[in-house]
Amino acid sequence: MKFFKFVLLTLIALPAILWAEGGSVYSRLGIGDLTYSYSARRIGMGELGVAVFDREFIGSINPASWTRLNMTRFETALNYQNFKTQSTDISSYHSYTNFSGALIGVPLERDLGLSLVGGLIPYSTVNYKVVDKHPSSDYPHNVTYDGSGNVSKAFIGGSYKTPWDISIGASFDYYIGKVDYHSTIDFTSNSSYYSAEYQKTYKTAGIGGSFGIISNDLSKMLGLSKISEMRVGLALNVASSFNSDSSYIVYNTNGTDTLATGKTNADLPLRFAAGLSFVYNKAYNITLDYLYQPWNKYKFGTQSALNLRSLQKVSAGIEYKNPDMRETGFFERTMVRGGVSYEQTQYQLYGQGINEYSVYAGFSFPLAYENSIDLAFQYGVRGTTDMSLVKEKIFRTNVTVSLGELWFFRPER
């Protein structure tokens, strides 16, 4: 059974390495598009879920949520994104598929909420390609700008439930990434000029930490009859300065020339998130979340972030789960989700901020007891065509496989 799971996880993750075409043009700025959740369970509810407990799921935004794990869990996900990019005079389509995370969570002592969790998840992604054509110049040519790469976060951490039913958690994080930026000039007719390619490469590595807390059940204190499991959650993600190796290379007919190499530091801003979660009528889990990250403080070496600003994201989600655990039918055990979000992204150009509006939907289909395939869909609109900027329509699909087994369990004799 364990070998089958390993093969299944590998087959799901492998295509992400093999297929990539292009994504958002805005990912050229900063360290690219940020990832808030690796899993379809959270994406289907607006991506955050800071105060949500889920014994059948490993959360990544708040380590305090791990106290409810009741089985050893393996999870991995695949993410597909499609972008329709539109400016004042042209439009184009881009898409890519990427590996969205692999995690393992082990409950060590369920009564105390002691769990050990580790994994690898994406933090940001750079994936774009833009062609600037100049057919009417004295020397007709095309200039192509493209970039690819990512920053990933590997982590290991744990959780604990205090005697007052307050959950806390923390993790040690290690960030590693590589991003390549290319610029190519290609002359489309015979001329005395030769085509050339320029490449910048940044390799980064650094350490950080994540900390979280989720309150006790506030509905008991308030004496609410229809509402249960009302909790408030806080999460903080901090990182030290990253070490970055950089190189600048030119390719032309005369060969390859390395123009510059060096080391510098990049300072990632902290990320803060807060959320409220409660269950209505024992069946509907409702979440309200807020996330903040001051990207205007990001620096690469001594260079400040000219085209970045503070990021803010507000989301709301709802999940329906049949409260009758005795049900064994496929549809009775299927979970349904939905959500909305507004994001003031970290991007700004010519003084114009780039905002994003999204709607979400999701489902969890049972495979067996405590095992499921989770699906999530997102449709978002980002940016504007004003001031010669770009408007993007984003369609995103996430598939997550979540598998659970009993480990370290000693049956009564």
- Residue 346 is predicted with a pLDDT of 94
The fraction of the chain above a pLDDT of 90, given in percent, is 47
Distance between CA 54 and CA 216 in Å, rounded?
15
> Which tens digit of pLDDT belongs to each residue from 265-310?
888 899 999 999 999 998 999 999 999 999 998 887 777 778 899 9
- Residue 8 is predicted with a pLDDT of 42
- Residue 90 is predicted with a pLDDT of 72
- State the maximum Cα–Cα separation within the chain, in Å, rounded to a whole number: 89
> Which tens digit of pLDDT belongs to each residue from 93-131?
878 888 888 999 999 998 899 999 999 999 999 988 877
Q: Which of 12-21, 126-135, 157-166, 242-251 has the highest mean pLDDT?
A: 157-166
More confident call, 135 vs 9: 135
- Residue 369, judged by CB atoms within 10 A of its CB (0-12, 13-18, 19+), counts as exposed
Domains of the chain: 2-405 (2.40.160.60)
- Residue 21 is predicted with a pLDDT of 53
Per-residue confidence band for 7, with pLDDT thresholds at 50, 70 and 90: very low
* φ, ψ dihedrals at 50, nearest 5°: -65, -35
Residue 23 pLDDT > 50: yes
Distance between CA 260 and CA 218 in Å, rounded?
58
More confident call, 131 vs 314: 314
> Which tens digit of pLDDT belongs to each residue from 358-408?
999 999 998 877 789 999 999 999 988 888 888 999 999 999 999 887 665
Q: What is the DSSP letter of 156?
A: E
Contact 289, 50 (CB under 8 A): yes
Q: Which of 138, 147, 162 is nearest to 214 (CA)?
A: 162
- Residue 1 is predicted with a pLDDT of 45
Rg, the chain, Cα only:
23
Distance between CA 392 and CA 80 in Å, rounded?
16
> Which tens digit of pLDDT belongs to each residue from 189-200?
666 677 778 888
